[in-house]
Structure 1
Amino acid sequence: MNSKKIIVDVLLFILMIIEYSRLYLNSTVHEIIGISLIILIIPHIYLNRKYFKILKKGKYNIKRSFKLTINMGFLVAFLLTCILGILSSQTLGIGSLTAIYLHKIFAYLSVILLGLHLSFNINQLLAKIPYKKILFPIFIIFGIYSLIQVDFWNHITGRYGFSIATGNILINSIYYIGIILMIIALLNLDKLKQKN
Protein backbone atom coordinates (compact mmCIF):
# COMPACT_ATOMS: atom_id res chain seq x y z
CA MET A 1 0.00 0.00 0.00
CA ASN A 2 1.14 3.52 -0.82
CA SER A 3 2.92 5.08 2.20
CA LYS A 4 1.64 8.57 1.27
CA LYS A 5 -1.90 7.23 1.30
CA ILE A 6 -1.40 5.66 4.72
CA ILE A 7 0.00 8.92 6.15
CA VAL A 8 -2.87 11.00 4.73
CA ASP A 9 -5.52 8.51 5.89
CA VAL A 10 -4.07 8.24 9.41
CA LEU A 11 -3.83 12.04 9.72
CA LEU A 12 -7.42 12.43 8.51
CA PHE A 13 -8.63 9.85 11.02
CA ILE A 14 -6.72 11.35 13.98
CA LEU A 15 -7.84 14.91 13.21
CA MET A 16 -11.46 13.84 12.74
CA ILE A 17 -11.43 12.07 16.11
CA ILE A 18 -9.90 15.11 17.83
CA GLU A 19 -12.60 17.34 16.31
CA TYR A 20 -15.25 15.41 18.27
CA SER A 21 -13.64 16.65 21.48
CA ARG A 22 -14.85 20.19 20.76
CA LEU A 23 -15.51 20.81 24.45
CA TYR A 24 -11.78 20.49 25.15
CA LEU A 25 -10.63 22.67 22.22
CA ASN A 26 -10.87 26.43 21.93
CA SER A 27 -12.68 27.73 18.85
CA THR A 28 -9.53 28.69 16.97
CA VAL A 29 -7.88 25.25 17.40
CA HIS A 30 -11.13 23.53 16.39
CA GLU A 31 -11.35 25.66 13.25
CA ILE A 32 -7.66 25.18 12.34
CA ILE A 33 -8.11 21.42 12.59
CA GLY A 34 -11.25 21.74 10.43
CA ILE A 35 -9.29 23.64 7.76
CA SER A 36 -6.57 20.96 7.95
CA LEU A 37 -9.23 18.32 7.26
CA ILE A 38 -10.41 20.25 4.20
CA ILE A 39 -6.82 20.44 2.94
CA LEU A 40 -6.14 16.73 3.63
CA ILE A 41 -9.25 15.52 1.83
CA ILE A 42 -7.78 16.78 -1.46
CA PRO A 43 -4.75 14.41 -1.45
CA HIS A 44 -6.99 11.65 -0.03
CA ILE A 45 -9.29 11.90 -3.06
CA TYR A 46 -6.30 12.20 -5.42
CA LEU A 47 -4.59 9.13 -3.96
CA ASN A 48 -7.86 7.18 -4.33
CA ARG A 49 -8.49 8.37 -7.89
CA LYS A 50 -8.45 4.78 -9.22
CA TYR A 51 -11.68 4.16 -7.28
CA PHE A 52 -13.40 7.07 -9.04
CA LYS A 53 -12.12 5.90 -12.45
CA ILE A 54 -13.71 2.45 -12.11
CA LEU A 55 -17.13 3.70 -10.97
CA LYS A 56 -18.57 3.43 -14.49
CA LYS A 57 -16.98 0.04 -15.15
CA GLY A 58 -18.45 -3.34 -14.37
CA LYS A 59 -21.79 -4.38 -12.96
CA TYR A 60 -23.31 -3.18 -9.72
CA ASN A 61 -24.58 -5.78 -7.32
CA ILE A 62 -26.13 -4.92 -3.94
CA LYS A 63 -22.78 -4.88 -2.11
CA ARG A 64 -21.06 -2.64 -4.66
CA SER A 65 -24.07 -0.28 -4.79
CA PHE A 66 -24.15 -0.08 -0.99
CA LYS A 67 -20.39 0.60 -0.87
CA LEU A 68 -20.75 3.40 -3.44
CA THR A 69 -23.70 4.89 -1.53
CA ILE A 70 -21.74 4.86 1.75
CA ASN A 71 -18.56 6.28 0.21
CA MET A 72 -20.40 9.09 -1.59
CA GLY A 73 -22.62 9.69 1.44
CA PHE A 74 -19.56 10.02 3.66
CA LEU A 75 -17.90 12.42 1.21
CA VAL A 76 -21.04 14.58 1.03
CA ALA A 77 -21.57 14.55 4.83
CA PHE A 78 -17.89 15.37 5.38
CA LEU A 79 -17.95 18.26 2.91
CA LEU A 80 -21.22 19.62 4.34
CA THR A 81 -19.74 19.41 7.84
CA CYS A 82 -16.74 21.43 6.67
CA ILE A 83 -18.79 24.01 4.75
CA LEU A 84 -21.22 24.44 7.65
CA GLY A 85 -18.22 24.65 9.99
CA ILE A 86 -16.93 27.62 8.00
CA LEU A 87 -20.40 29.20 8.02
CA SER A 88 -20.57 28.76 11.80
CA SER A 89 -17.06 30.08 12.43
CA GLN A 90 -16.72 32.03 15.68
CA THR A 91 -13.27 33.25 14.66
CA LEU A 92 -14.61 34.79 11.46
CA GLY A 93 -17.67 36.09 13.29
CA ILE A 94 -20.11 34.76 10.68
CA GLY A 95 -21.69 31.98 12.74
CA SER A 96 -25.43 31.51 12.50
CA LEU A 97 -27.39 29.25 14.84
CA THR A 98 -28.79 27.27 11.91
CA ALA A 99 -25.31 26.63 10.50
CA ILE A 100 -24.03 25.57 13.94
CA TYR A 101 -27.02 23.24 14.44
CA LEU A 102 -26.58 21.58 11.02
CA HIS A 103 -22.78 21.45 11.40
CA LYS A 104 -23.17 19.37 14.56
CA ILE A 105 -25.74 17.01 13.05
CA PHE A 106 -23.69 16.35 9.90
CA ALA A 107 -20.54 15.92 12.02
CA TYR A 108 -22.18 13.15 14.05
CA LEU A 109 -23.69 11.57 10.95
CA SER A 110 -20.12 11.52 9.61
CA VAL A 111 -19.04 9.31 12.53
CA ILE A 112 -21.49 6.61 11.44
CA LEU A 113 -20.58 6.99 7.78
CA LEU A 114 -16.85 6.94 8.63
CA GLY A 115 -17.29 3.60 10.38
CA LEU A 116 -19.18 2.25 7.36
CA HIS A 117 -16.61 3.73 4.94
CA LEU A 118 -13.72 2.13 6.83
CA SER A 119 -15.61 -1.20 7.00
CA PHE A 120 -15.45 -1.44 3.23
CA ASN A 121 -11.97 -0.05 2.76
CA ILE A 122 -9.80 -1.88 5.28
CA ASN A 123 -10.60 -5.46 4.32
CA GLN A 124 -6.92 -6.44 4.06
CA LEU A 125 -6.25 -5.11 7.55
CA LEU A 126 -9.34 -6.81 8.99
CA ALA A 127 -8.27 -10.13 7.50
CA LYS A 128 -5.01 -9.95 9.47
CA ILE A 129 -6.65 -9.22 12.86
CA PRO A 130 -6.18 -12.28 15.11
CA TYR A 131 -8.74 -13.43 17.67
CA LYS A 132 -11.69 -11.81 15.87
CA LYS A 133 -14.14 -13.98 17.82
CA ILE A 134 -12.90 -12.32 21.00
CA LEU A 135 -12.15 -8.81 19.72
CA PHE A 136 -15.31 -8.17 17.68
CA PRO A 137 -17.70 -8.75 20.64
CA ILE A 138 -15.46 -6.48 22.76
CA PHE A 139 -15.59 -3.80 20.02
CA ILE A 140 -19.38 -4.06 19.88
CA ILE A 141 -19.90 -3.93 23.65
CA PHE A 142 -17.44 -1.04 24.07
CA GLY A 143 -19.05 0.76 21.10
CA ILE A 144 -22.49 0.55 22.69
CA TYR A 145 -21.01 1.77 25.99
CA SER A 146 -19.33 4.64 24.11
CA LEU A 147 -22.59 5.62 22.38
CA ILE A 148 -24.17 5.94 25.81
CA GLN A 149 -21.22 7.80 27.35
CA VAL A 150 -21.15 10.51 24.66
CA ASP A 151 -24.98 10.57 24.46
CA PHE A 152 -24.70 10.08 20.72
CA TRP A 153 -28.45 10.08 20.06
CA ASN A 154 -28.91 13.61 21.41
CA HIS A 155 -25.97 14.84 19.35
CA ILE A 156 -27.12 13.40 16.04
CA THR A 157 -30.63 14.72 16.59
CA GLY A 158 -29.18 18.17 17.37
CA ARG A 159 -30.60 18.42 20.87
CA TYR A 160 -27.49 19.98 22.39
CA GLY A 161 -23.81 20.91 22.08
CA PHE A 162 -20.96 19.33 20.21
CA SER A 163 -19.56 17.35 23.13
CA ILE A 164 -20.32 16.46 26.68
CA ALA A 165 -17.73 16.22 29.45
CA THR A 166 -16.36 12.68 29.50
CA GLY A 167 -13.15 13.24 31.44
CA ASN A 168 -10.62 14.59 28.97
CA ILE A 169 -9.75 14.72 25.28
CA LEU A 170 -8.07 11.29 25.33
CA ILE A 171 -11.03 9.49 26.94
CA ASN A 172 -13.45 11.31 24.63
CA SER A 173 -11.40 10.30 21.58
CA ILE A 174 -11.31 6.67 22.73
CA TYR A 175 -15.12 6.67 22.92
CA TYR A 176 -15.41 7.84 19.31
CA ILE A 177 -12.85 5.28 18.17
CA GLY A 178 -14.95 2.70 20.05
CA ILE A 179 -18.07 3.74 18.12
CA ILE A 180 -16.22 3.41 14.81
CA LEU A 181 -14.76 0.02 15.77
CA MET A 182 -18.25 -1.17 16.74
CA ILE A 183 -19.60 -0.25 13.28
CA ILE A 184 -16.65 -1.96 11.58
CA ALA A 185 -17.14 -5.11 13.68
CA LEU A 186 -20.90 -5.22 13.02
CA LEU A 187 -20.43 -4.91 9.27
CA ASN A 188 -17.76 -7.59 9.23
CA LEU A 189 -19.35 -10.25 11.42
CA ASP A 190 -19.16 -12.63 8.45
CA LYS A 191 -15.36 -12.64 8.89
CA LEU A 192 -15.79 -14.46 12.21
CA LYS A 193 -16.40 -17.63 10.21
CA GLN A 194 -13.01 -17.31 8.55
CA LYS A 195 -10.01 -18.99 10.14
CA ASN A 196 -7.58 -16.66 11.91
Structure 2
Amino acid sequence: MSMEIFWAWMLFLIVDIAVVMSPGPAFVALVRNAMVYDRNISIATALGLALGVMAHVVLVLGGIAFLITKSVLLFNVIKYGGAGYLIYVGVKSLRTGGKCVVVKADEGHVKAITVKQAVLHGFLMNLLNPKAVVFFTAVFAQFIHPSMSFSVQMLYGFTPVCVEFLWFTGLAIILTNTSIKRRFMNVIHWVERLCGGLMIGLGVKLALFR
Protein backbone atom coordinates (compact mmCIF):
# COMPACT_ATOMS: atom_id res chain seq x y z
CA MET A 1 0.00 0.00 0.00
CA SER A 2 1.41 3.39 -1.02
CA MET A 3 1.56 6.26 1.47
CA GLU A 4 -0.94 8.18 -0.66
CA ILE A 5 -3.49 5.39 -0.36
CA PHE A 6 -2.72 4.99 3.35
CA TRP A 7 -3.31 8.66 4.20
CA ALA A 8 -6.47 8.74 2.07
CA TRP A 9 -7.72 5.71 3.99
CA MET A 10 -6.82 7.38 7.31
CA LEU A 11 -8.91 10.40 6.31
CA PHE A 12 -11.79 8.09 5.39
CA LEU A 13 -11.41 6.31 8.75
CA ILE A 14 -11.56 9.60 10.69
CA VAL A 15 -14.67 10.72 8.79
CA ASP A 16 -16.37 7.38 9.40
CA ILE A 17 -15.52 7.35 13.13
CA ALA A 18 -16.95 10.86 13.51
CA VAL A 19 -20.18 9.83 11.77
CA VAL A 20 -20.57 6.57 13.73
CA MET A 21 -20.01 8.30 17.08
CA SER A 22 -22.58 11.02 16.37
CA PRO A 23 -26.00 10.32 17.98
CA GLY A 24 -28.63 8.87 15.67
CA PRO A 25 -31.12 5.99 15.38
CA ALA A 26 -28.39 3.35 15.81
CA PHE A 27 -27.08 5.03 18.96
CA VAL A 28 -30.54 5.31 20.50
CA ALA A 29 -31.35 1.68 19.64
CA LEU A 30 -28.14 0.42 21.24
CA VAL A 31 -28.55 2.50 24.39
CA ARG A 32 -32.15 1.36 24.78
CA ASN A 33 -31.29 -2.33 24.41
CA ALA A 34 -28.26 -2.01 26.70
CA MET A 35 -30.37 -0.44 29.44
CA VAL A 36 -33.32 -2.81 29.11
CA TYR A 37 -31.72 -6.14 28.18
CA ASP A 38 -28.46 -7.94 28.94
CA ARG A 39 -24.98 -7.77 27.40
CA ASN A 40 -25.58 -10.57 24.90
CA ILE A 41 -28.62 -8.80 23.48
CA SER A 42 -26.72 -5.51 23.34
CA ILE A 43 -23.74 -7.00 21.49
CA ALA A 44 -26.14 -8.82 19.15
CA THR A 45 -27.71 -5.43 18.40
CA ALA A 46 -24.23 -4.04 17.63
CA LEU A 47 -23.63 -6.98 15.28
CA GLY A 48 -26.92 -6.26 13.52
CA LEU A 49 -25.97 -2.60 13.12
CA ALA A 50 -22.64 -3.65 11.58
CA LEU A 51 -24.40 -6.05 9.20
CA GLY A 52 -26.70 -3.20 8.17
CA VAL A 53 -23.64 -1.12 7.31
CA MET A 54 -22.22 -4.07 5.38
CA ALA A 55 -25.41 -4.21 3.33
CA HIS A 56 -24.99 -0.54 2.43
CA VAL A 57 -21.35 -1.11 1.49
CA VAL A 58 -22.36 -3.96 -0.82
CA LEU A 59 -25.06 -1.78 -2.38
CA VAL A 60 -22.59 1.05 -2.97
CA LEU A 61 -19.79 -1.09 -4.38
CA GLY A 62 -22.33 -2.87 -6.57
CA GLY A 63 -23.63 0.42 -7.91
CA ILE A 64 -27.13 -0.27 -6.60
CA ALA A 65 -27.03 2.53 -4.02
CA PHE A 66 -26.43 5.05 -6.81
CA LEU A 67 -29.55 3.81 -8.59
CA ILE A 68 -31.52 4.14 -5.35
CA THR A 69 -30.47 7.78 -4.90
CA LYS A 70 -31.57 8.48 -8.48
CA SER A 71 -34.92 6.70 -8.18
CA VAL A 72 -37.54 8.69 -6.29
CA LEU A 73 -39.69 5.58 -5.84
CA LEU A 74 -36.94 3.35 -4.44
CA PHE A 75 -35.59 6.11 -2.23
CA ASN A 76 -39.04 6.86 -0.82
CA VAL A 77 -39.72 3.16 -0.18
CA ILE A 78 -36.58 2.98 1.97
CA LYS A 79 -37.23 6.36 3.56
CA TYR A 80 -40.81 5.71 4.62
CA GLY A 81 -40.04 2.10 5.51
CA GLY A 82 -37.27 3.29 7.79
CA ALA A 83 -39.40 6.05 9.28
CA GLY A 84 -42.24 3.62 9.91
CA TYR A 85 -39.90 1.14 11.59
CA LEU A 86 -38.43 3.84 13.85
CA ILE A 87 -41.87 5.05 14.87
CA TYR A 88 -43.03 1.46 15.48
CA VAL A 89 -40.04 0.75 17.74
CA GLY A 90 -40.55 4.10 19.48
CA VAL A 91 -44.22 3.47 20.21
CA LYS A 92 -43.39 -0.05 21.41
CA SER A 93 -40.78 1.38 23.80
CA LEU A 94 -43.23 3.94 25.15
CA ARG A 95 -45.86 1.27 25.76
CA THR A 96 -43.44 -1.05 27.57
CA GLY A 97 -41.53 1.69 29.37
CA GLY A 98 -43.45 1.10 32.55
CA LYS A 99 -42.92 -2.65 32.41
CA CYS A 100 -39.15 -2.87 32.45
CA VAL A 101 -37.86 -6.39 31.79
CA VAL A 102 -34.69 -6.01 33.87
CA VAL A 103 -34.83 -7.95 37.15
CA LYS A 104 -31.77 -7.15 39.27
CA ALA A 105 -28.40 -5.90 38.18
CA ASP A 106 -26.66 -8.70 40.08
CA GLU A 107 -29.02 -11.51 39.13
CA GLY A 108 -29.10 -11.22 35.37
CA HIS A 109 -31.89 -10.14 33.09
CA VAL A 110 -35.06 -11.46 31.61
CA LYS A 111 -34.68 -11.73 27.85
CA ALA A 112 -37.81 -10.38 26.24
CA ILE A 113 -36.20 -10.80 22.82
CA THR A 114 -33.84 -13.41 21.40
CA VAL A 115 -30.33 -12.82 20.09
CA LYS A 116 -31.59 -13.33 16.53
CA GLN A 117 -34.29 -10.71 17.05
CA ALA A 118 -31.69 -8.28 18.42
CA VAL A 119 -29.47 -8.82 15.37
CA LEU A 120 -32.44 -8.30 13.04
CA HIS A 121 -33.45 -5.16 14.96
CA GLY A 122 -29.98 -3.65 14.55
CA PHE A 123 -29.78 -4.73 10.92
CA LEU A 124 -33.09 -3.11 9.97
CA MET A 125 -32.24 0.02 11.95
CA ASN A 126 -29.30 0.73 9.63
CA LEU A 127 -30.57 -0.89 6.43
CA LEU A 128 -33.74 1.22 6.36
CA ASN A 129 -31.89 4.50 6.86
CA PRO A 130 -31.83 6.45 3.56
CA LYS A 131 -29.30 8.87 5.03
CA ALA A 132 -26.85 5.97 5.15
CA VAL A 133 -27.44 5.33 1.44
CA VAL A 134 -26.69 8.97 0.63
CA PHE A 135 -23.68 9.09 2.98
CA PHE A 136 -21.95 5.98 1.68
CA THR A 137 -22.69 6.87 -1.95
CA ALA A 138 -21.24 10.36 -1.51
CA VAL A 139 -18.24 9.42 0.64
CA PHE A 140 -17.23 6.31 -1.29
CA ALA A 141 -17.36 8.34 -4.51
CA GLN A 142 -14.69 10.62 -3.03
CA PHE A 143 -12.33 7.82 -2.00
CA ILE A 144 -12.92 4.82 -4.27
CA HIS A 145 -12.33 4.75 -8.01
CA PRO A 146 -12.41 1.87 -10.55
CA SER A 147 -8.62 1.82 -10.98
CA MET A 148 -8.13 0.78 -7.34
CA SER A 149 -7.13 -2.79 -6.63
CA PHE A 150 -9.74 -5.16 -5.26
CA SER A 151 -7.89 -5.43 -1.94
CA VAL A 152 -7.94 -1.65 -1.41
CA GLN A 153 -11.65 -1.50 -2.25
CA MET A 154 -12.26 -4.27 0.29
CA LEU A 155 -10.26 -2.30 2.86
CA TYR A 156 -12.57 0.67 2.36
CA GLY A 157 -15.57 -1.63 2.44
CA PHE A 158 -14.72 -3.40 5.69
CA THR A 159 -13.56 -0.26 7.50
CA PRO A 160 -17.03 1.19 8.27
CA VAL A 161 -18.33 -2.28 9.18
CA CYS A 162 -15.53 -2.81 11.71
CA VAL A 163 -15.84 0.72 13.11
CA GLU A 164 -19.59 0.28 13.56
CA PHE A 165 -19.22 -3.05 15.34
CA LEU A 166 -16.29 -2.02 17.57
CA TRP A 167 -17.85 1.29 18.64
CA PHE A 168 -21.27 -0.10 19.49
CA THR A 169 -19.87 -3.28 21.06
CA GLY A 170 -17.67 -1.15 23.30
CA LEU A 171 -20.67 1.00 24.16
CA ALA A 172 -22.73 -2.11 24.91
CA ILE A 173 -20.06 -3.50 27.24
CA ILE A 174 -19.79 -0.20 29.13
CA LEU A 175 -23.54 0.35 29.49
CA THR A 176 -24.21 -3.23 30.61
CA ASN A 177 -21.56 -3.05 33.33
CA THR A 178 -23.14 -4.20 36.60
CA SER A 179 -22.28 -1.05 38.57
CA ILE A 180 -23.62 1.21 35.83
CA LYS A 181 -26.85 -0.78 35.54
CA ARG A 182 -27.35 -0.58 39.30
CA ARG A 183 -27.19 3.21 39.13
CA PHE A 184 -29.82 3.30 36.39
CA MET A 185 -32.02 0.56 37.88
CA ASN A 186 -34.64 2.95 39.26
CA VAL A 187 -34.85 5.05 36.10
CA ILE A 188 -34.54 2.43 33.36
CA HIS A 189 -38.25 2.72 32.56
CA TRP A 190 -37.73 6.44 32.00
CA VAL A 191 -34.68 5.74 29.84
CA GLU A 192 -36.77 3.41 27.70
CA ARG A 193 -39.52 6.00 27.39
CA LEU A 194 -36.96 8.67 26.48
CA CYS A 195 -35.46 6.39 23.84
CA GLY A 196 -38.97 5.66 22.56
CA GLY A 197 -39.70 9.37 22.22
CA LEU A 198 -36.39 9.93 20.45
CA MET A 199 -37.14 7.06 18.06
CA ILE A 200 -40.49 8.58 17.15
CA GLY A 201 -38.87 11.99 16.68
CA LEU A 202 -36.14 10.51 14.49
CA GLY A 203 -38.77 8.60 12.51
CA VAL A 204 -40.73 11.79 11.81
CA LYS A 205 -37.50 13.60 10.91
CA LEU A 206 -36.56 10.77 8.57
CA ALA A 207 -39.96 10.87 6.88
CA LEU A 208 -39.41 14.58 6.17
CA PHE A 209 -35.86 13.99 4.88
CA ARG A 210 -35.34 14.99 1.24
Could you say which TM-score interval applies, normalised by the shorter chain?
Answer: 0.3 to 0.5
**TM-score, structure 1 as length reference:** 0.34
Q: Which structure's CA Rg is the greater one?
A: 2
